[in-house]
Amino acid sequence: MGLSKRKLAWGAFSIALILLLIIGAASYRTTNRLVESQELIAHTHQVQTYVEDLRSDLIEAGYARRGYLISGDESFVTRYQAAVDDVPAKLQQVRDMTHDNKAQQNRLGELQAVVTEDLGLLKKSIELRKSGGVDIEEQRALTQQAAALEARASAIVFGMREEESRLLHERQSSSNRIFTHALRIVGAGFLFALLLLAAEFYLFDRELTQHQRTERRARRNRELLNAFFSSSTVGFAILDSELCCKRANSVLATMAGVDPASLPGRRLPEMFGTLGQNTETTLLKLMTSGEPILDHELSGPVAGRPGDKRHWLVNYFPIHEESGQVTQIGVIALDVTGKARAEEAIRRLSGRLIRLQDQERRRIARELHDSLGQYLASLKLTIDVLANAPQERRGSLLAEASNLAQDCITETRTVSHLLHPPLLDEMGLSSAARWFVNGFADRSGVRVTLDAPEDLPRLPDAVEITLFRVLQEGLTNVHRHSHSSSAEIALKLVGENVVLRIRDHGEGISRTKLDQYQKDGTNVGVGLVGMRERVREQGGQFEIQSSAQGTLLTVTIPLHASVEAWSHAEPGAA
């Protein structure tokens, strides 16, 4: 049965091959006829073009002659001569191209006679104008004769165009018929050959289907594995039963701090040092149980990079053979060091904020006790004395009580302004910034200059509060840490962004601290982290540049992004 199918397949293949040769020969013959037909069509189009060019030259010659008669401008004579010089060549080209068409040759002979006579009249008219004689009647007569000749020439040209259009229609019809015939031949042959090839394919497909399926499955698995290994942003590795690396991607090599080419063949402890030794027992249990280990957390130094503590989240899963035995282990590792450090920074920030909140509460309590409390105590004593005082002392005691009450009001306003300046709500950021800068300069002795437009428009509330708090914290850092004697503040609108710059000329931030801060936001005070988080909540950028000459803090907040952030954070806000 197998031999019969093979013979049938070869027979079908042979018939299809013969049929394709026949179709090729027929297609070649039909194509040649089609090409000849297209050449005739192109020839007809070319004749029409030359006839139109000839007619255009005659019109140009007549136009140039009239222009010269009217204006006497010699440039019209030049144009006339150029058109006349082209006429013989165009006539000859049309004659050569229509030599096999007797009707066109007759029209062309008639056209040549009319053109020659017309050009003679035009030449005579121009020479008469050049001679200086202005015989209007003669010129009119020449014009009428030339117009009659041009009408005859146009009629002849129209007849030639009609003849060429007729030929074009006939040739196009013939070409279409040839093309349709060719399509039918090719289509019929192709259909028959397709049926034979389909039968051939069916016979071979039955024998090769299983092999092709296996090959496709293996190829898909290889491509999928290669895609995961090459394009993933997490670490991938495959370990054998001895916990030796068979394959790993470059991300895992970077995590291990080694060259990717050196990973294959190395055991897990060799790749990750102490971390690998601690994991070896876990993986041996996996080989026995066959159960995956998910979300396994690892923390520790990387081999070759002492002091650099890293954090990973690792998944291990078994790879079974057909028998069910675990022979390999798949490893998926995600470096979560940034997340761990961010969480640690958030914890430290939260603790710092709580401590600052407690300190602020104690400071406010002291302010209230030492100032407002004393005024209120004095006011109470004055009122108590006033109750039993003789009439002649009541006036002075009332005045003293009124002064103490005014002092209470003033002190309450001072504390309120320190907590949240009312100018920020009433007049906007520019006025509040000037009030705070002036007060800071008076209290600290630091010379501060503020460059902010007086007519700065009102910004979204969240943006104004963020920038004001950054200004407060920035100047506080200048006073506490920089020890600079001067600082410059610039607040500007740049396009759709609001930009705040704070520059001092103090000690600056060390390069080590600055690099660590820009890397993961650690190793600096909570003030910088708090400022950065405030700015990021508004969709802005917080940048620090520092050197031995001082520090520049730049905050850029896009207004459209901050409005969206504020609207999402404050549902129902206008």
Domain parsing of the chain, residue ranges: 2-203, 234-335, 338-419, 420-569
pTM over 0.75: no
Which of 439, 464, 436, 437 shows the shortest CA–CA distance to 449? Answer: 437
Dig out the tokens for 264 from the structure. Answer: 């294959």
What confidence score (pLDDT) does residue 490 get?
94
Residues contacting residue 249 through CB under 8 Å, at least 6 positions apart: 228, 229, 230, 232, 235, 236, 237, 260
Superfamily covering domain 420-569: Histidine kinase-like ATPase, C-terminal domain (3.30.565.10)
Same fold, 234-335 and 420-569: no
- Give mean pLDDT, residues 349-361: 66
For residue 414, the model assigns a pLDDT of 64
For residue 466, the tally of other CB atoms under 10 A from its CB is 26
User: What is 234-335's CATH number, 3.30.499.10, 3.40.50.720, 3.30.450.20, 3.20.20.70?
Assistant: 3.30.450.20
1-37 pLDDT, tens digit per residue, is: 445 555 666 776 677 678 777 877 777 777 777 677 6
The CATH-assigned architecture of domain 2-203 is Up-down Bundle (1.20)
The alpha-helical segments, DSSP class H, found in 336-460 are 337-367, 373-388, 391-419, 422-426, 429-444
Q: What are phi and psi of 493, to 5 degrees?
A: -100, 120
Average pLDDT over the chain, rounded to an integer: 75
Q: pLDDT band for 571, please (50, 70, 90 cuts).
A: very low
pLDDT score for 498:
93
Residues, the chain: 574
pLDDT beyond 80 at 504 = yes
Dig out the tokens for 340 from the structure.
């761990």
Predicted confidence at residue 14, as pLDDT, reads 76
